[in-house]
């Protein structure tokens, strides 16, 4: 493989509190001399393939420092005729001189696509492939940029050492999971299984290693906050009051006497009246329920767990439970074929939770939001200096907006760091930004 340096914007990163892998972190510190990695250039890979009909547009390999990336004969166009996204070596994007192939995006859905191919017409199948690529490409581009940046500044021997160590991490951490997940005992059997699914072990290994590098880049470059002032938390609380609204609910006990368990209605009425007398005499509601109730929770002392007010079909019961003081037994209520007594054990009247009771939760929410913002900032800075072209670009309307002029575009994309569009992959979340967010 050929590697070509592409200089991105220099980033000064500090270690954050996340830890995607101690082994990888220590390794990268050693490789960089424990001084932090210099983000001077991007090491890309261009893969040689047999010539295709369409050649990459001129100028795609031009880099700011005067160097150029060889435009190998790779197809950079939408599939045509009877072909689909996987029938040829289909390039869907160029990221700082590195081609991204359709197979790199679609390999996660290989099994599902194989099944879909049996049920869809060729045009439908091709449209499905294209839709999957569109949904995942932006997240994949973000990940590739961070993986590139993580390798920046490393000499060839250190690059090779890094690859060797990443292989070890893959074999120790990921390979056992692949074997277990596919219920095979050997690597040979696993490779056969993966071929049946439309992918290979090498593809999965490259995907895993790229993900690890991107995660480590985020860890080193993002600077999330963990502490927030009371005024910040109060301001956030006031602007999110609807998030802390609670509905009225109650924990309660019930003594239920069913007519069907006695000779007639009057006999059941006499039993519930005995229960009422016992309560008036000071006996515990739970004890009387265990003795006289034949309701579904009689053995638990008639205790029902938290119940929202709107869940009660009988408004008389709801009124008693939410109006009478907690611990005060209700009057006898007659229903269709039964009598009952109820009492509130614990009650919440609803409305916004008090700030003091949710302060810890607010601090966590603020930290989560700040962590996501930091990750978006890190990726956004890479986007501003990246040279990215995709097969979905249109004149003046690039599929992936960066801070550079996209070849063939009439104007530069906005330099504003927009929110990331990181769609989930079939196995979870393809972007390291989303993976960090989920932690």
Question: Is 239 contained in some domain?
Answer: no
Each residue's pLDDT tens digit, 357-387: 899 999 999 999 999 999 999 999 999 889 9
- Residue 363's contacts (CB-CB under 8 Å, 6 or more residues apart) are 228, 233
Q: State the pLDDT at residue 403.
A: 52
Highest mean pLDDT among 91-100, 248-257, 354-363, 369-378: 248-257
Beta bridge partners of 3: 45
Same-domain pairing of 61 and 85: yes
Which of 349, 384, 408 delimits the end of a domain? 349
Q: Does pLDDT of 198 surpass 70?
A: yes
Confidence class for position 74, pLDDT limits 50, 70, 90: low
- From 66, 98, 139, 99, select the one nearest 427 (Cα to Cα): 139
Mean pLDDT of 319-330: 97
Same-domain pairing of 143 and 195: yes
Which whole-number Å values give the CA distances from 428 to 108, 136, 435, in the listed order?
A: 10, 12, 9
What is the distance between the alpha carbons of residues 261 and 259, in angstroms, rounded to a whole number? Answer: 5
Which whole-number Å values give the CA distances from 43 to 83, 145, 299, 401, 437, in the listed order?
A: 32, 10, 70, 22, 27
Question: Is 354 contained in some domain?
Answer: no
Structural domain harbouring 277: 248-349
Q: Tokens 């050693």 correspond to what residue?
A: 30
Range from 23-37, 173-187, 295-309 carrying the lowest mean pLDDT: 23-37
**Count: domains in the chain:** 2
Range from 82-91, 254-263, 319-328, 357-366 carrying the lowest mean pLDDT: 82-91
Same-domain pairing of 316 and 400: no
Range from 95-104, 289-298, 325-334, 394-403 carrying the lowest mean pLDDT: 394-403
Q: State the pLDDT at residue 428.
A: 38
- Residue 323's contacts (CB-CB under 8 Å, 6 or more residues apart) are none
Question: Is 243 contained in some domain?
Answer: no
Highest mean pLDDT among 26-35, 150-159, 312-321: 312-321
DSSP letters of 380-391?
HHHHHH--EEET
Q: Tokens 């006990």 correspond to what residue?
A: 253
Sign of the torsion angle spanned by Cα atoms 228, 233, 236, 242: positive
Q: Calculate ∠ Cα 292-297-301, nearest 5°.
A: 60
Each residue's pLDDT tens digit, 223-247: 999 899 999 999 999 999 999 988 9
What is the longest distance spanned by two Cα atoms in the chain?
A: 100
Same-domain pairing of 122 and 189: yes
Same-domain pairing of 31 and 66: yes
Give Rg (Cα) of the chain: 32
Which of 327, 349, 371 delimits the end of a domain? 349
Same-domain pairing of 81 and 11: yes
Same-domain pairing of 46 and 155: yes
- The number of beta carbons lying within 10 Å of the beta carbon of residue 151 is 22
What is the distance between the alpha carbons of residues 253 and 302, in angstroms, rounded to a whole number? Answer: 5
DSSP H helices, 302-354, are: 315-323
DSSP H helices, 187-332, are: 187-197, 201-221, 230-239, 265-280, 285-292, 315-323
Each residue's pLDDT tens digit, 111-137: 888 889 899 999 999 999 999 999 999
Q: State the pLDDT at residue 253.
A: 98
Same-domain pairing of 276 and 162: no
Same-domain pairing of 146 and 111: yes
Confidence class for position 325, pLDDT limits 50, 70, 90: very high
Same-domain pairing of 72 and 201: yes
Q: State the pLDDT at residue 400.
A: 77
Please provide the average confidence, as pLDDT, over all residues in the chain. Answer: 78
Question: Is 153 contained in some domain?
Answer: yes
**What share of the chain has pLDDT > 90, as a percent?**
54
Q: Does pLDDT of 186 surpass 60?
A: yes
Question: Is 355 contained in some domain?
Answer: no
174: which DSSP letter?
I
Question: Is 236 contained in some domain?
Answer: no
Q: Tokens 């890309």 correspond to what residue?
A: 44
Q: Tokens 């990695």 correspond to what residue?
A: 37
Q: State the pLDDT at residue 418.
A: 30
Range from 59-73, 159-173, 328-342 carrying the lowest mean pLDDT: 59-73
What is the distance between the alpha carbons of residues 206 and 105, in angstroms, rounded to a whole number? Answer: 12
Which of 349, 375, 396 delimits the end of a domain? 349
Q: Read off the CATH number of the domain in which 307 is found.
A: 3.10.50.40
**What share of the chain has pLDDT > 70, as a percent?**
74
Each residue's pLDDT tens digit, 274-301: 999 999 999 999 999 999 999 999 999 9
Helix (H) / strand (E) element for 334: namely strand 333-335
| Alpha carbons within 13 A on the beta-carbon side of 416 | 3
Question: Is 305 contained in some domain?
Answer: yes
Q: Tokens 């060839």 correspond to what residue?
A: 156
Each residue's pLDDT tens digit, 133-180: 999 999 999 999 999 998 887 888 888 998 899 999 999 999 999 999
Q: Does pLDDT of 435 surpass 60?
A: no
Same-domain pairing of 172 and 271: no
Confidence class for position 317, pLDDT limits 50, 70, 90: very high
What is the distance between the alpha carbons of residues 107 and 111, in angstroms, rounded to a whole number? Answer: 8
Same-domain pairing of 149 and 62: yes
Q: State the pLDDT at residue 59.
A: 37
Question: Is 242 contained in some domain?
Answer: no
């Amino acid at each position: 493989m050929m590697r070509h340096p592409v200089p991105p914007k220099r980033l000064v990163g500090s270690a954050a509190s996340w830890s995607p892998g101690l082994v990888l972190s220590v390794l990268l510190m050693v490789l960089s001399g424990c001084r932090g990695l210099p983000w001077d250039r991007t090491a890309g890979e261009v893969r040689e393939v047999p010539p295709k009909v369409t050649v990459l547009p001129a100028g795609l390999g031009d880099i700011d420092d005067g160097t150029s990336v060889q435009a190998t004969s790779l197809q950079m166009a939408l599939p045509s005729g009877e072909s689909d996204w996987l029938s040829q070596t289909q390039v869907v994007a160029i990221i700082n001189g590195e081609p991204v192939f359709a197979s790199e995006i679609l390999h996660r859905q290989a099994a599902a696509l194989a099944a879909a191919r049996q049920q869809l017409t060729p045009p439908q199948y091709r449209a499905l492939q294209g839709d999957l690529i569109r949904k995942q490409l932006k997240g994949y581009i973000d990940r590739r940029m961070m993986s590139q940046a993580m390798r920046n500044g490393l000499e060839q021997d250190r690059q090779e050492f890094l690859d060797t160590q990443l292989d070890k991490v893959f074999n120790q951490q990921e390979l056992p999971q692949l074997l277990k997940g596919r219920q095979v005992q050997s690597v040979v059997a696993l490779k056969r299984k993966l071929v049946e699914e439309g992918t290979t072990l090498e593809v999965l290994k490259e995907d895993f290693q790229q993900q690890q590098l991107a995660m480590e880049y985020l860890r080193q470059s993002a600077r999330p906050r963990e502490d927030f002032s009371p005024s910040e938390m109060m301001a956030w609380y006031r602007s999110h009051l609807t998030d802390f609204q609670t509905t009225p609910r109650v924990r309660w006990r019930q003594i239920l006497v069913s007519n069907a368990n006695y000779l007639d209605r009057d006999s059941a009425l006499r039993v519930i009246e005995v229960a009422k007398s016992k309560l008036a005499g000071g006996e515990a509601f739970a004890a009387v329920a265990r003795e006289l109730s034949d309701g579904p929770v009689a053995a638990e002392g008639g205790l029902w767990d938290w119940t929202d007010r709107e869940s009660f079909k009988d408004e008389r019961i709801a009124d008693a439970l939410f109006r009478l003081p907690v611990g005060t037994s209700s009057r006898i209520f007659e229903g269709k074929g039964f009598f009952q007594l109820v009492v509130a054990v614990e009650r919440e009247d609803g409305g916004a939770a008090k700030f003091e009771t949710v302060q810890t939760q607010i601090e966590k929410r603020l930290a989560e939001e700040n962590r996501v913002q930091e990750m978006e900032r890190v990726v956004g800075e890479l986007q501003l200096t990246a040279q990215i072209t995709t097969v979905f670009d249109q004149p003046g309307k690039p599929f992936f907006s960066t801070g550079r002029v996209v070849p063939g575009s009439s104007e530069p994309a906005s330099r504003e760091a927009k929110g990331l569009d990181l769609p989930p992959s079939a196995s979870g979340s393809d972007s390291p930004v989303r993976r960090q967010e989920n932690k």
